[in-house]
Amino acid sequence: MITLGEYIVAKQNDFPEATGELSLLLSAIRLATKVVNREINKAGLVDIIGTTGIENIQGEVQQKMDLYANDTFKAALEARGEVCGVASEEEEDFITFNGKRSVNSKYVVLMDPLDGSSNIDVNVSVGTIFSIYRRISPLGGPVTLNDFLQPGSRQVAAGYVVYGSSTMLVYTTGHGVHGFTCDPSLGVFYLSHENIQIPEDGQIYSINEGNYLKFPDGVKKYLKFCQEIDSVSNRPYTSRYIGSLVSDFHRNLLKGGIYIYPSTASSPQGKLRLLYECNPMAFLVEQAGGSASDGFNRIMELKPTALHQRVPFFCGSRNMVADVQTMMEKYSS
């Protein structure tokens, strides 16, 4: 059995230009993941569930575990000195690390420390999402906003952790998608899913259908398409929606399907964050043979204009994304 640490080192040896910094950065993420996983498993036994009563920059009430996970990942990333700055869904602005090693480091990290955190109260799967870029500002100086506002096509690595019936860390460095499952008796991640490939076609669609009346016409048409009886394409498809992006994405990645969070009448720009959620998931799904779109354009080609920019999100099996994009283009006003 190959551990996550062994796998990272082995892959590093495949690239003569590798310096080891990215491997150390991923190790810091692995450590933070273990700490957060431990606390999530105590939910209901200690005072970590429920809200803080404070809203974050997104206008969402923060959960206690949101803040705990955010602080844990920041501390782990700063301690290793391989990151010069971090941007988080829970922070209004980006954070600069000023340590002697940090200011000379090549990388910045963008993250959603705890996706779907409100689900902890009812013992439903949650996750962490991360995205890694090379900085474009000069080494030795402070990190800048432009270091974070890079298109997803420039990502060096991305991944997520799903805290569920088992805890899995899934990541890519642009050479396939690999999954590691944590052995709880040892606290070690072992390679369990190498070179994950999402089926080109799927039987699952994941969307909050409670917002149907607010959806664009193209999305409404696609949902009706999913629900029609057609033996050739094995329709109707199955509706599965957990309400945690990581959990829904993970299921569709392994089984085939599409995740949809479109614009609505009340959220015309969409609701998911381009930098913290959409770009890393787009990188992963493309590396696994799928695709990700805002309904009209490839997600990873979008040029970010703000740290907390929101976009519509269609992500999953290649043919399913193509179908919904065709309907979006046909029925857009």
DSSP 269-324: T-SEEIIIIIHHHHHHHHHTT-EEESSSSBGGG----STT-EE-EEEESHHHHHHH
List the pLDDT tens digit at each of the 333 positions of the chain: 899 999 988 887 655 555 678 888 999 999 999 999 998 887 665 555 555 556 666 666 677 888 999 999 999 999 988 999 999 999 999 999 988 889 999 999 999 999 988 787 788 899 999 999 999 999 998 999 999 999 999 999 999 999 988 999 999 999 999 999 999 999 999 999 999 999 999 999 999 999 999 999 999 999 999 999 999 989 999 999 999 999 999 999 999 999 999 999 889 999 999 999 999 999 999 999 999 999 999 999 999 999 999 999 999 999 999 999 999 999 986
Bridge partner list, 272: 311
Say which DSSP state 90 is in. Answer: T
Between CA 200 and CA 20 the distance in angstroms is 35
* Domains along the sequence of the chain with CATH: 4-193 (3.30.540.10), 204-331 (3.40.190.80)
Displacement of CA 213 from its chain's centroid (Å): 27
pTM exceeding 0.85: yes
Between CA 252 and CA 157 the distance in angstroms is 20
The b-or-e profile of 76-115 (16+ CB within 10 A means b, else e) is bbbebbbbbbbbbbbbeebbebeeeebbebbbbbbbbbbb
Nearest partner of 252 among 197, 182, 327, 293, judged by Cα: 197
Number of CB atoms found within 10 A of residue 41's CB: 12
Between CA 263 and CA 195 the distance in angstroms is 32
